[in-house]
Every structure is written in structure tokens, then in C-alpha cells.
Amino acid sequence: MADDKDVLRDVWFGRIPTCFILNQDEVTEREAEPYYLLLPRVSYLTLVTDKVKKHFHKVVRTDDVEEMWLEYEGTPLKWHYPIGVLFDLHASNTVLPWSITVHFKNFPDRDLLHCPSNSVIEAHFMSSIKEADALKHKSQVVNDMQKKDHKQLWMGLQNDKFDQFWAMNRKLMEYPTEEGGFRYIPFRIYQTMSDRPFIQKLFRPVSPEGNMHTLGDLLKEMCPAALPNDGEQKRYQVVIHGIEPLLETPLQWLSEHLSHPDNFLHICVTPVPSD
Amino acid sequence: MPVSLLWAVDVYGRVYSLSTAGQLWEQCHDAQMEFKRVTAAQQCCWGIACDNNIYLNVHASDLPVRYQEETYENQRWNPIDGFSDRLLPSDRWQWSDVTGLQHQPLDNFRIPSDSWEWEGDWYADENFEGEPTEKGGWTYAIDFPATYTKDKKWNSCVRRRRWLRYRRYKAMDTWAKIPPQQTTLPDPFSDISCGGWEINEEPRGRLSLWAVSLQGKVWFREGIYHHNPEGSFWEDIPLPGEVVQISCGPGDLVWAVLWEGQLMVREGISRDCPKGTTWAVVDSPNPDVGATHVAVGNNVVWALTKDNKVWFRRGVNSHNPCGSGWISMVGEMIMINVGLNDQVLGIGSQDRAVYFRQGVTSSELSGKTWRAITVPRDGDRSHSSASAGSLAGCYFCGEVRAQSVVSDVESDTEKGSTDGASCLVASSSPERNPSPGEEEIKAPCAGVAISPSQSGGPLDPQWSNVDLEEAQGHPVQTGAVLDSADTCSLSSVATYTLAMEDPYGADEHPLWAWVSGGGCSVDSHSQLNWFNCSMNSVQSMNLSVTPAQTAAWRRQIFEQLSERTKREIDNFRHYEQAIEQSVWVKKGTMQWWRDWKPHKWIDVHFALEQFSGSEGNKDGILFIYYNFYEEKKYLHAFINEVTILVPVLNDSKHSFAIYTPERTKQRWPIRLAAATELEMQDWLALLSDSCCDSRVIQGPPSKQAIWSVTCKGDIFVSEPSPSLEAMPYPSPCDQMFWRQVGGHLRVVECNSVGIVWGIGYDHTAWVYTGGYGGGIFQGLSSSTDNIYTQVDAKSVYIYENQRWNPVSGYTNRGLPTDRYMWSDASGLHECTKTNMKPPSPQWTWVSDWAIDYSVSGGTDREGWQYAADFPASYHGYKTLKDFVRRRRWARKCKLTTTGPWQEIPPISLSDVTILPCAAQSSVDVVPLWAISNKGDVLCRLGVTTLTPAGSSWLHVGTDQPFKSISIGAASQVWAIAKDGSAFYRGSVSPQSPAGDCWYHIPSPAKQKLKQVSVGRTSVYTVDENGNLWYRQGVTPSYPQGSSWEHISNNVRKVSVGPLDQVWIIADKVQGSQSLSCGTVCHRLGVQPMEPKGQSWDYGIGGGWDHITVRGNSMEPPRIHLPSLTAPAPQSPLPVRNKEVNGDAVGC
């Protein structure tokens, strides 16, 4: 039987085949070839698109170049969401490879954060980890870590070093057995049909009666619309890392195994495609 | 932890047991009658039933309780009849015991009770001192008594032979009345407590059983041990007072409560005198309130006073069984009991629930909190329905009726109590039950004299203790009688009526009367599910194979993830990766055992550089930067050359050794020490991962894997390459890569279908779960499932040495040239009780120093062994020529780790063997044989690849204890007896898995064999002097073979595999830099026509203790050298072999 450890590997090594196309409006000196890349689902767009930037810089007139930003079917892609979340949220039913349009002009300041350097991504990533640990362990684990341990987490993500990352992340996933789980589950629920960026509230992995909370329990409380009513056709799909776990999956297990490296469980609720 | 049972009796006298792994009180349905009290040991449970008889429930075990009766038939030769039963008048009896003094004809032997049955008829023993005798089993001598020989000589005037017959204890798992005393005891029993199993291990299964009679007398049951579970007779123990209750711990603690409320401590309990010698009195914890109950463990005493307060006795140990003072504890209990590992159980005075004391450890014996055991009982429905009426009062009714003719007063009392109760009876039933109990207390008080201490109490002590828990429980529940100074005035009618308003008005939860944890093996590490039945879902995920692992949600995630990989990655593998791989370096500081002389630890910088190897796998180099005479230098090793990482823990250094093939040849590994244990583990785990990555090895070991164990109990596994057994050029065994598997074992045995068993230092049997990692390998290098806690225990020994001088006799003043007066076995190192540390930081002490009597050669009563001088051979008695003596002290220590192993309780093993060849399907039963640590031969039933633990043991009878066993590929079973001779088991087949009889095979001349291993056809043995022997002349028609041929010396162990490959653990292997003991060696040149091979190839070591190659059935690729491709070799190989070869030709 497959081991739970394999899930961690599968999650980490999840890749989305992507085709980057230069926006039509960009002024080019010659024809821009599309650029194909396997993007890690758990990473961030601006962290892994240096090659894309270099590729298109070659053809774009240098005096027109501003900060690069990416867009899919008219939606600017937020770099501070994990790549997998962006894909599941906006493009889960698209034909692969995922076709992303590259812009060098007209940065949509209203929709996107600027990302002048990797240190901004690092700060964002580390603050997520700290926030998650505040929920899980009252920040005790992350505060006990040394600066180099934090660096190890970040370097692990930046360099795609699974072992390096998990050697440290393991500690963030521990909890006292007698408690049955974390204090609160760090999660974020994204919905395409909502204006709110995401739902994030306090939710415990174990009910006061001692029962393990499931994914269904969480959705019932946070986002009841996502659950099908009795006898009704399923309207929404609940996607984590491109898969749809069963609603009876224990939330604690999901948090331990299907969280992103930022230690949050990112859940996408999208309408079922009508075909 | 093995599964064990907690026993309890409810207020209706029903007996229940709760498994440490369970969540349900299971009623002991066998009990036809109600019980008052039970007291449990691990192997049995004793109880007093309401008929006042004592019953014994021996837990069924695969190992039968079998008693060997023996008697001797004696004959004398005369010229007319030859040998005949006509003896001289001065001779012994014609049928006698071994000494000849006791007349013992065959028909004098009777089974001791109805719980026994004869196993067969009498037969003459053909075996004499490890040798088969002539027909009939006769042994000859010149006269009685004399030295007997198996051969008849010209001067043999007498002969004798031994007759044997076995009887078997059949009353397993049922309550059997123990046979009544010859002279019936004067009064019935009211309390009982067993323990004492740690005082003396001989005879096996010995127990002390203490009982209290209604008149307050104390009795000790003599002669209880494994082969005589019922014991022999009751012995009266004189007393200074009248006892109400007694408690006996696993060791030498026995405490009793006196009527007057003081406590008595039995002193002088020792190995030679389990009954003890005298009583000492200890005052009640509270001078105003007498003690009512006491419970003792190994090193603890808990007591209750009449106000239900709980007390803990400080400072109790073997040397001071009385302890030093009382500490008041939280909680109110009516009964308390100390189980194994000094764990404490109680019954709450308010709710009558069973409470478990949490947090009791050897360093914190008083524990932390009381926690109620809340699991349901089976048959709870019947409980509520039955309790409404007739059953409610039955607990003591028989007895009460019997006694109730005593006086008029009694009937009045009865009426009173019933009247008082009646108003509430309708609504709540169980209260009816205390009433009869109470009337019984009241009953005698009119008729019998009042004991002096009871100032106002008109009650006779001898009756109230029948129902002690009732009597004392109720007053305090209500608080009505508390203030009365009178110790056992017990309840009044009024208290009962008041008590009815108490929680158990509603019949919702069970009311317990008695609990016994003497058989319940729980310690601070145990995970119990007794407290909250719904909280277990997460833990169970990690702990055992539960539905959670096969749950739909989990399957769904696995399936969808693999679909996602197909969908999103598989078709796009030619795409460029977004992140380029790079080098990752980890650095640290360590100490290194430097290569040049003088060898010592020096500080070094240590770095591991990892990068992607040429084929996409990871690789790395490790660097050790050191200073050599002010010059900076470094040493490096390629990760892909490292063959093994061995932790070397001792009390001063957290070190490990790194071997490469070159270092193995030198017998000189790179030895490094980290500053802390944690740092060492981090490095070891990282390096190990790195090595496995570079060799692309991950997950659990394969079925073909070779397993080995070091003398520290660490377990290593190696994946054999197909060329390992290749002819004529096998791959050298110093190139084998070994990785560690969590756990701690002394022996590991496997076969080629992946069934692996292990035996711990404490003889516990373990089965491999299919996982990997554990121990220091956590996180990613360990499987999540299949990893369990493993506990092992062993003893550390030191010696006390003394020399005789004419003035003061033996003293600890030796000659200046003598060894240390406290030393190790060699005498070279000083080892005192205080400076001796556990073998490594992993181990912790779990007992105090105690004299070890089980030394070979025997000891005197104080454990001394005598000799003429140090060092010499020691004997267990003093002679005039002896000027020195020594005795061995032992102290137990324990190690707790994790690994892919699950315990197979309850029988302890000393050896195990599994049929090495492949099973055809996963449901095929695989023969597995074992030797218990007492020498019984066992055959495991139900072992398949799906159920590697099997189901139960089948006991295979032998006439003497065995020590080693091995089964070959064709079901040939060979075994070594304790006397050093070999046995072959005839007719073992799938139809008859246990075979039919033993064939005795004499050992090589003047050698005692100690271990055997049987491969496809080869049989190898090792003797006690380290010689390796090959059995000549073994053929299918004559599987016993003809003679032993010497192969090699300096051999510690041998393992013969399914290809007849021979591997050994050898001592004294010379490397280029050092000599190693305990080295893995591989026999080269072993071929079907040359099964003895030619020479040895040396592998990993030293410090290795065990290896098994019995999983490796991979036929090597055959290299066809021109000279060897001659017409078909005339090999007697079975067909199976050819098929495999056919496959292998393509290689």
C-alpha cells in the first residue's frame, strides 16, 4: 500500500506544464516564440519565471520594459498565491499546457502586488509560515527555530529541495498525540464567484466531543454553498492540489499532507464545468 | 506492548477483563458463580467465589502446562534368570525414584486434580546423556548406586531404566476449583493476593499466593509454579493480630491491614524464603482513622484509610520494606490495587468507577492524576434488565442465608435495613445488593465477642471483611459514620438508606467492587484507549492497521494524485524544469578518531556536499577537514562508496563509524563523534538518506534482503545483487551496502517471501511489519504506518570479588596484585555499583542491583562462587582449597525505540527459523519453527505472507530442552538440544507440519553443538568452541546424514540460504590495520557438487552478532566459461532450480 510519505512527494513534485505567450500589444523587434516550462505547483510565479523573463527580454524593446506580470484569460495572476492555487482556481478545466500571457507594460496596480525581488517573496512566504504556526502551535515551533532553520525552509522551496525543506518542515507538522491535532488548522478557501480574496477563520481539527473534523465539517461551517444539498446535482468542486478529496477526509490529515510549503491548506471552490 | 488484561469484579460478583488494547470490559462468561475478589498475575488469575472456595483461571497458552513424571525400573543380574526384577533384600525398590529411596511403582502415580489429564502412557526413555542407548533404554552399573553407562560390560550386575509419562493441565481459560486441603481449613477465605514472581525465577512461573481467612489468619500457598499451577498446600503464617486484607507485590513486598487499623509489613522475604520471617507493624497514616486497605507493588505502597483517603508510602524498597512516611494523595477510593510496573488502579468511593493513576513512572511513582476508565462493558443491556429484580441481591445471598440462622438480632437488623431501603428499591435496584452484604456484617455481631480495639463497635471483625469494600465504601459516601473513632463500626442501616441517593441510583454506569492489575502490563509509554472512546482516530492512523488506512478517502487521494501526475506531468516530461538543481552543502563540527598514532579524538570540520549525479540520482562527497601539525588537510569519501553507517553509542561519546570497501579491508572505519546525541542522529539520518539516494534505494527492504544484527542490537539490511552468489566471480562482500532499520533485536531470521521475525534481548518475539525507518530515522526516511514502539531489556553484570584471610575470613581486602574488588567479568576494569552506567544513553535502569544466582557453575545460597585463585574456574560450593570467591550482581536496564516490528506475545523465544524457499501464493502456509526461551520446541501455525505473525503455537514434545533450530528448503528440521547433541525431526511435510518423531544425531566427538542452519540440502552446525561443521552424507533417502566434517574454526554463527550459500559471523578476522571480531564472511566456491566451498570472503565487521541470508533465493547469472560449458553437469538439483536458471540465462 502506498505510504503517506508518498503524498508529500507527490504534492511537492506536482508540476503544471505551461506555455508562456507574449502579449500581442507588446512591441517586439522580431516574432516572440512561446516559452514552455514545467512550473512547480507549490512555488510562486515570480520565483520560477526568471527564464521566461530572460526569454522575452530578448525580443522586447528594452526601453519599453517594465515589471513583468502575467495574466490568464484576462485575469491578472497574483504571484503571492501558490501557482497550483492559481491554476486550480482559474484554469483547472483548461486544456494543457496552461497558456499564460506575459506582459511588460501597464502593470495592474489595483490587482497585483509588486515584486521587485525574491526577498519580497521570501518575506511573504516566511510570514505565511509564521502565521500558520501561530495557528498550529501558538508560534512555539517557529520561534524555537533558528535563523538558519528559517533559511533552510526558504532555500528548500527556492531550490526545489524536497529533503532539505522537509527535514525542517517536519517539526512544524508535529503535535502532541494526546491532543489529536494542531490547535487550529491553517486553511484558506478561495472562491471564484466571490469578491472576497479568501476565507480564513479559526477552526479546530477535533470537535469538543473528541471527533476528528473532516473537510466536509469545515466547508459546512465556512462555505456551506460549496456543499451539494441533498439530492441535488453537485454544483461546486472542492479542489486541493488539483485533486478532489472526499468530504470525509480528516482535516488534520489534510493539513499535514496536503498543505503548501507555506503550511496553509489552500482549498479552491470552483463551479463544476457545465461542459 | 503485549496485550494483557486488567481484571475486575462488579458489585454483582461478575468478573470482567479489559485488554490493554481493548475498549470493552469483557465478561468472563465461564464463571458460573459470582466472585468476591480476584487477584491476577500475567499467566493466571485467582479468585474467591461466593462459595468461599478459591478458583484458579490459568490463561491458555500455546505452550501447554506439562509435567514430566519419572520413575526408575531397577533390575539385578543373576545366573539363572539373567537380568530380572528379583533384587537383593538390601537393594532398592524394584520401581523407585532416581535415588532409589522412594518406592514408586507406575500405578502409584495419580493426577493431582480433575484439572489434569494424562497425555499418553508410560514409556521407557531411550536417551541417556545425549546418546541413544541400546534397545529398551537400559543403563548398566556394577551395583546400586553407581555410575551408569549405556553399554553392558562383563561386570554389569545391575541395570536400570527411566520411565516417563506426561500429564497435562487441561483447565485452561476456565475457573477451576483448586483441590481441597487434606485437612479442611478451619474457616473460609476472605481475601487473596498473588505476586512474588520477581523474587526468584526458579522454578519457572513461581508465584506467591497469600490468603486471609474470615478469622483473620494468613495463609501462604506452597509450591505454585508453571508445572504446578494450583500449588500444593496451604501453610499457616503466624500472626500477631487479625488481618482483614493483604497485598503482595511482584517482588518482596507484602503488606497487610489489621483489624485495628494498623498495617503489617512482612520482613525477611527473599529468594530462599518467599514466605518471609517476621512481621513489623506500621501505624495507620492517620492516627485517628484506621487503615482499611493496602496495595503494594515493586517499590510502592498505597493505602486507604477508613475515610477513604488515599495515602502513598514514601521510601519503600527491598532494603526498607516499611518505608519512611505517609503522603496524603488526592482522591477518595474504596479499594486500591497496584499492578505491574507499579501502576495504580482504584475504585472511586463516590461513583464506584475504576480509576487508573496516570503518569506513574519509575522516577515519579506517585503519578499525576486519577483518570476514570470509561469503556463500556459487553452485555451492558443485560445488566440493566437483570438488575431490576432477582439478580440484584445474589452477590452474597447464598452465604448470607447460610449464616443467617445465628440469632434473632440478625433478622431484626435485616428487617431494619430492608425497611430502610425499601422506599428506594423501586426506583433503583443496585442498592438492594449492598443491603444483604451489610446484613451479613451485622449478623454475627450479636453472637460473637467484640474485639478489644473496637471501642463502640458491636461488630465482629471476622465477618465484616467478607464485604470489606461494601462496608467501608458506604460510610464515607454518605459521610454519616466518619467521625466515629471506632475503626470498623462499618455501616449502619441509616448509611445505606442515605447512600441510595448516591450516583448509582440510576443504573447507568457499572459499579465495581474489585480490580486487579497484577496481570496488566502497562507503563508510562503505553497508549491506552480506556479513557475516551472517540478520541482515537488520529492516533490509530499511526498505531496500527485500521480501517483508516484502507479508508475510501485515503484511497481516493492516492488514486487522484497518480491521475494528476498522468494528466499534468507524464505527457510533458520533455518540458524544461523551472528550477535548476544545484549543490547543497551541510557543514558542522565533529570529533574524529584520527588515523595516525597516538589515536585520539580531534576536532574537525565536517561537510557533506550533495549534487545531482550523472544519471539524475543524487550523489555527494563528505569532507573531513583537520589539522596535521599546523597544516590544513582534509579527508574525503564519496557517498556512493560508503557501505554502511554504524552508530557507536557509549556513555561518553555520541559517535558513529563510516565504512567504505577500502575501510572494511583495513578494519579501520572513519569514526566521528558529534557533540550531542541529537546532532549525531541528525547527521546519521542525513548521511543515510544521502547514501540511499545515491544508490537509488528507498522504501522497505526487498524480500531477498540479507538481514544482520550487531552486538549492540542494531539491525542492518542489505539488498543482494544477483552477482553476490555468482560463480566463479561473486561480487566481493565488502562492497555490500547496508542500511539501518529501526528497532533493537538479538536475532533476526527471514525467508524469501518476505516473512521476517526477530527476537529481542529480553527474548520477546517480533514480526516485521513491512515498514522502514523508525529509531533515529524519522520523517521522510521512515514509513508512517507500520512503525511501532519497541522495548527491549537486558541485564548489566558486575562482580564482587573477595579473598580469604585467616583472621577475618572472606573480606573485600585483596592482595595488592588482585583484581578490583568490584570488577567486570575479566577483573581488569573496576566496576562498582555506583559508577556503572547503562550501556549507552539509550538505556535506562529499571531495577536496583541484585545478586544473580543464575551463573553457570552454580552458586551458594548467597550467590558466591569459589575458586583457588583469580582467575580460575569457579564452583558453587566452598572447599578447603578455595581462597577467593566472587559473586555476580545484575541490574536490569531498558531501551525504548521505534521500528517496523510488532510484538508476538506471549511466549518468549530463544531461536526461530522460517522455511527459506518461496511460497506459491500469499495464502500458502509457511512453516516456521521456534525454541522458547525455556527450551520448548514450537511450530507456528497460520504463517503466510499476508499474516506473517501466524496465529498460534503448536507445541512439539521433546524429552529435554532445546536451544537452536533450523528448517531447510525441503522441510528438513534440525535442532540442537541443550546437551549439545543434534536432532533431526522425521516426516515433516505440509500435511504434517510438526513431523512425527526426533532422531538423535550425536555431536562431533567431544564437542557440544550450539547452533544449526539448514539450506536447500546443506546442514551446517557451530559448536561451543567455534568450529563450523558440515553434515556429510545427507541424501533424500537418508536425510540424517552420516558424519560431521570440520570446515573452519573461529566461527560464531552460521546461516545457510536457500541456494545453499553459506555465510558466517567469524571471530578474529585480520585486516590491514586492525583485527576484528564478529565479522560477516561469505563462503566462496560453494557449488551444487561442492557444497562445502573453498575459502572465505570477508565483509562488514567487527561487532556483528547475527546474519541471515535465508531470504536470498536469487539464482546468480551463470557465466559460461568455455571450459565449463561441457555437457550437462550432473547436478542433483531440484527442478525448481532449472526453471530459475532458464530465466537467468538471458542476463
Nearest to B579 among A11, A40, A250 (CB): A40
Interface test with A, best of B527, B538, B609 (most A CBs within 10 A): B538
Q: Search chain A and give the residue with CA nearest B770.
A: A1
**Of B574, B569, B129, B684, the residue nearest A17 (C-alpha):** B569
Q: Other CB atoms closer than 10 Å to residue B415's CB: what's the count? A: 12
What per-residue confidence (pLDDT) applies to B488?
35
Nearest to A16 among B538, B568, B783 (CB): B568
The 10s digit of each residue's pLDDT in B579-633 is 776 677 888 899 999 888 888 899 999 988 887 655 556 778 888 998 888 888 8
What per-residue confidence (pLDDT) applies to B891?
93
C-alpha span between B815 and B801 (Å, rounded): 11
All residues at 6 or more sequence positions from B879 whose CB lies less than 8 Å from its CB, including other chains: B866
Q: Search chain A and give the residue with CA nearest B542.
A: A177
Burial (Cβ within 10 Å: 0-12, 13-18, ≥19) of residue B230: buried
Contact: B537, A212; criterion CB under 8 Å: yes
What per-residue confidence (pLDDT) applies to B256?
95
**8 Å CB contact between B911 and B818:** no
Q: Search chain A and give the residue with CA nearest B557.
A: A245
Q: Inform me whether the C-beta atom of residue B369 falls under 8 Å from chain A C-beta atoms.
A: no
pTM to 2 decimals? 0.66
What per-residue confidence (pLDDT) applies to B477?
38
C-alpha span between A161 and A151 (Å, rounded): 12
Cis peptide before B186 (omega within 30 of 0): no
What per-residue confidence (pLDDT) applies to A66?
82
What per-residue confidence (pLDDT) applies to A67?
87
Residues in chain B within 8 Å Cβ distance of A11: 561
Nearest to B576 among A38, A210, A241 (CB): A38
Interface test with A, best of B537, B549, B787 (most A CBs within 10 A): B537
**8 Å CB contact between A179 and A206:** yes
**Of B897, B902, B872, the residue nearest B884 (C-alpha):** B872
Give Cα B959 distance to the centre of its chain. Answer: 24
Residues in chain B within 8 Å Cβ distance of A174: none
All residues at 6 or more sequence positions from B211 whose CB lies less than 8 Å from its CB, including other chains: B54, B189, B191, B192, B193, B218, B219, B220, B221, B234, B246
Interface test with B, best of A212, A257, A259, A267 (most B CBs within 10 A): A212
C-alpha span between B978 and B958 (Å, rounded): 11
What per-residue confidence (pLDDT) applies to B718?
95
Q: Inform me whether the C-beta atom of residue B545 falls under 8 Å from chain A C-beta atoms.
A: no
Partner residues linked to A251 by β-bridges: none
What per-residue confidence (pLDDT) applies to B429?
39
The three cell numbers of residue B561 are: 494524485
Taking CA atoms, B265 is separated from A269, B86, B249, B252, B256, in Å, by: 72, 58, 12, 10, 7
* Mean pLDDT of all residues belonging to chain B: 79
**Of B375, B368, B371, the residue nearest B356 (C-alpha):** B371
Contact: A3, B783; criterion CB under 8 Å: yes
Share of chain B above pLDDT 70, in %: 82
Burial (Cβ within 10 Å: 0-12, 13-18, ≥19) of residue B351: middle
The 10s digit of each residue's pLDDT in B288-329 is 899 999 999 988 999 999 999 999 998 888 888 888 889 888
* Mean pLDDT of all residues belonging to chain A: 88
Region class of B137: left (phi > 0), else alpha (psi between -120 and 50), else beta: left
**Of B874, B558, B671, B359, the residue nearest A2 (C-alpha):** B558
C-alpha span between B876 and B898 (Å, rounded): 41
Q: Search chain A and give the residue with CA nearest B693.
A: A163
Distance of residue B779 Cα from the nearest chain A Cα, in angstroms? 6
Task: Please list, residue by residue across A147-156, b when 16 or more beta carbons sit within 10 angstroms of its beta carbon and e when fewer do.
Answer: eeebebbbbb
Burial (Cβ within 10 Å: 0-12, 13-18, ≥19) of residue B438: buried
The 10s digit of each residue's pLDDT in B911-943 is 999 998 765 666 688 999 999 988 999 999 989
Contact: A241, B532; criterion CB under 8 Å: no
Q: Angle at Cα B895 formed by Cα B890 and Cα B900, nearest 5°?
A: 140
Q: Inform me whether the C-beta atom of residue B534 falls under 8 Å from chain A C-beta atoms.
A: yes
Burial (Cβ within 10 Å: 0-12, 13-18, ≥19) of residue B66: middle
All residues at 6 or more sequence positions from B50 whose CB lies less than 8 Å from its CB, including other chains: B13, B33, B34, B35, B36, B395, B396, B398, B399
Question: Cell 457545465 maps to which residue?
Answer: A274
Distance of residue B557 Cα from the nearest chain A Cα, in angstroms? 6
Interface test with A, best of B539, B572, B698, B782 (most A CBs within 10 A): B572
Look at A179 and B434; give whichever has higher pLDDT. Answer: A179
Q: Inform me whether the C-beta atom of residue B1128 falls under 8 Å from chain A C-beta atoms.
A: no
**Of B213, B951, A68, B925, the residue nearest B221 (C-alpha):** B213
The answer, yes or no, to whether residue B1114 has pLDDT greater than 80, is yes
Least confident of A201-215, B442-456, B548-562: B442-456
C-alpha span between A72 and A58 (Å, rounded): 22
- The pLDDT confidence band at residue A190, using thresholds 50, 70 and 90, is very high
Least confident of B492-506, B628-642, B651-665: B492-506
Rounded mean pLDDT, A101-129: 90
DSSP B974-1010: EEEETTS-EEEETT--SSSTT-S-EEEEPPSTT--EE
Nearest to A3 among B552, B778, B784 (CB): B784
What per-residue confidence (pLDDT) applies to B549?
52
Residues in chain A within 8 Å Cβ distance of B544: none
Residues in chain B within 8 Å Cβ distance of A159: 579, 581-582, 584
The three cell numbers of residue A128 are: 505565511
Contact: B785, A3; criterion CB under 8 Å: yes
The answer, yes or no, to whether residue B840 has pLDDT greater than 60, is yes
Distance of residue B121 Cα from the nearest chain A Cα, in angstroms? 52
Q: Inform me whether the C-beta atom of residue B538 falls under 8 Å from chain A C-beta atoms.
A: yes
Distance of residue A29 Cα from the nearest chain B Cα, in angstroms? 25
Look at B409 and A152; give whichever has higher pLDDT. Answer: A152
Residues in chain A within 8 Å Cβ distance of B579: 40, 43, 48, 158-160
Contact: B535, A180; criterion CB under 8 Å: yes
What per-residue confidence (pLDDT) applies to B847?
86
Residues in chain B within 8 Å Cβ distance of A166: 779-780
What per-residue confidence (pLDDT) applies to B177?
87
What is the identity of the amino acid at A97?
Answer: P
What is the identity of the amino acid at B422?
Answer: S
Contact: A180, B780; criterion CB under 8 Å: no
The 10s digit of each residue's pLDDT in B471-520 is 333 333 333 333 333 333 333 333 333 333 333 333 456 789 999 998 88
DSSP A143-210: HHS-HHHHHHHHHHHHTT-HHHHHHHHHHHT---GGGTS-SS--EEEEETT-SSS-B-----SB-TTS
The answer, yes or no, to whether residue B440 has pLDDT greater than 90, is no
C-alpha span between A91 and A98 (Å, rounded): 7
Distance of residue B952 Cα from the nearest chain A Cα, in angstroms? 26
The three cell numbers of residue B255 are: 503488606
Contacts of residues B563-570 at CB distance under 8 Å and 24 or more positions apart, as own/partner, are: B563/A243, B564/A10, B564/A14, B564/A241, B564/A242, B564/A243, B565/A10, B565/A14, B567/A96, B568/A14, B568/A15, B568/A16, B568/A17, B568/A96, B568/A242, B569/A14, B569/A15, B569/A17, B569/A38
Residues in chain B within 8 Å Cβ distance of A258: 557
Residues in chain A within 8 Å Cβ distance of B541: 253
Residues in chain B within 8 Å Cβ distance of A5: 780, 782-784
Look at B219 and A5; give whichever has higher pLDDT. Answer: B219
Half-sphere exposure of B87 (CA within 13 A, CB side): 18
C-alpha span between B65 and B119 (Å, rounded): 11
Sequence-ordered alpha helix ranges (H) in B137-273: none
**Of B1054, B1012, B1005, B1006, the residue nearest B1034 (C-alpha):** B1012
Among B residues 679-708, those touching chain A with beta carbons less than 8 Å apart:
686, 689, 699
Q: How far apart are the first and last CA of chain A?
A: 35
Rounded mean pLDDT, B942-963: 89
Nearest to B553 among A5, A51, A249 (CB): A249
Contact: B579, A159; criterion CB under 8 Å: yes
The 10s digit of each residue's pLDDT in B1080-1112 is 999 998 888 888 999 999 999 888 999 999 999
Cis peptide before B598 (omega within 30 of 0): yes
C-alpha span between B167 and B69 (Å, rounded): 8
Share of chain B above pLDDT 90, in %: 29
C-alpha span between B1147 and B1142 (Å, rounded): 10
The 10s digit of each residue's pLDDT in B165-217 is 999 998 888 888 887 765 566 678 889 999 998 888 778 889 999 999 888 89
**Of B851, B842, B785, B844, the residue nearest B650 (C-alpha):** B842
Contact: B572, A96; criterion CB under 8 Å: yes
Contact: B578, A49; criterion CB under 8 Å: yes
Contact: B779, A170; criterion CB under 8 Å: yes
Distance of residue B310 Cα from the nearest chain A Cα, in angstroms? 27
Contact: A241, B561; criterion CB under 8 Å: yes
Rounded mean pLDDT, A174-196: 86
The answer, yes or no, to whether residue B48 has pLDDT greater than 50, is yes
The 10s digit of each residue's pLDDT in B63-117 is 788 888 999 998 888 888 888 888 887 888 889 888 888 888 888 888 888 889 9
DSSP conformational letter for B355: E
Residues in chain A within 8 Å Cβ distance of B553: 245-246, 248-250
The answer, yes or no, to whether residue B1015 has pLDDT greater than 80, is yes
Give all strands of the β-sheet with B1019-1023 in edge-to-edge order: B1009-1014, B1019-1023, B1028-1032, B1043-1048
What per-residue confidence (pLDDT) applies to A41?
94
Distance of residue B578 Cα from the nearest chain A Cα, in angstroms? 6
The 10s digit of each residue's pLDDT in B441-471 is 343 333 333 334 433 433 333 333 333 333 3
Residues in chain A within 8 Å Cβ distance of B535: 180, 206, 210
Contact: B579, A10; criterion CB under 8 Å: no
Region class of B295: left (phi > 0), else alpha (psi between -120 and 50), else beta: beta
Task: Please list, residue by residue across A38-71, b when 16 or more beta carbons sit within 10 angstroms of its beta carbon and e when fewer do.
Answer: bbbbbbbbbbbbebbbebbeeebeeeeeeebbbb
Q: Other CB atoms closer than 10 Å to residue B135's CB: what's the count? A: 8
**8 Å CB contact between B960 and B969:** no
Half-sphere exposure of B1083 (CA within 13 A, CB side): 26
Residues in chain A within 8 Å Cβ distance of B563: 243
- The pLDDT confidence band at residue B766, using thresholds 50, 70 and 90, is very high
Q: Other CB atoms closer than 10 Å to residue B586's CB: what's the count? A: 19
